[in-house]
Amino acid sequence: MSRGNQVPIEFDPEEHAYTLHGERLPSVTEVIRLLYDFNPTDSVALEQNRHFGTAVHMATSFHDQGTLEEDTVSKPVAEFLTSWRAFVRDSQVEFIEIERPVYHRKLMYAGTPDRVARIEGKVWVLDLKTGATLHPASAIQLSAYLQAYNSSEEISKRDMAEGRLSVQLTRKGYKLNDWRSPVDWPTFIACLQIHNWKWK
In whole angstroms, give the CA distance from residue 110 to residue 14: 16
Neighbouring C-beta atoms of residue 133, cutoff 10 Å? 6
Give Cα separations from 166 to 15, 163, 180 (angstroms): 25, 10, 12
When pLDDT is averaged across residues 78-89 and rounded to a whole number, the result is 97
Q: Which residues on neighbouring strands pair with residue 167, listed in sequence order? A: 128, 176
Give Cα separations from 1 to 69, 95, 100, 151 (angstroms): 24, 8, 12, 16
- Specify the range with the lowest mean pLDDT, choosing from 44-53, 126-135, 167-176: 44-53
Q: Which residues on neighbouring strands pair with residue 127, listed in sequence order? A: 166
Q: Residue 42's pLDDT is what?
A: 56
In whole angstroms, give the CA distance from residue 195 to residue 190: 9
pLDDT tens column, 30-41: 999 999 875 555
Under DSSP, the state recorded for 100 is -
The answer to whether the CB of 49 falls within 8 A of the CB of 131 is yes
pLDDT tens column, 142-157: 999 999 999 998 888 9
At 13, the pLDDT band (50, 70, 90 cuts) reads: confident
Query: Is residue 170 within a helix (H) or strand (E), and if so which, with residue range?
Result: strand 163-170
In whole angstroms, give the CA distance from residue 159 to residue 5: 13
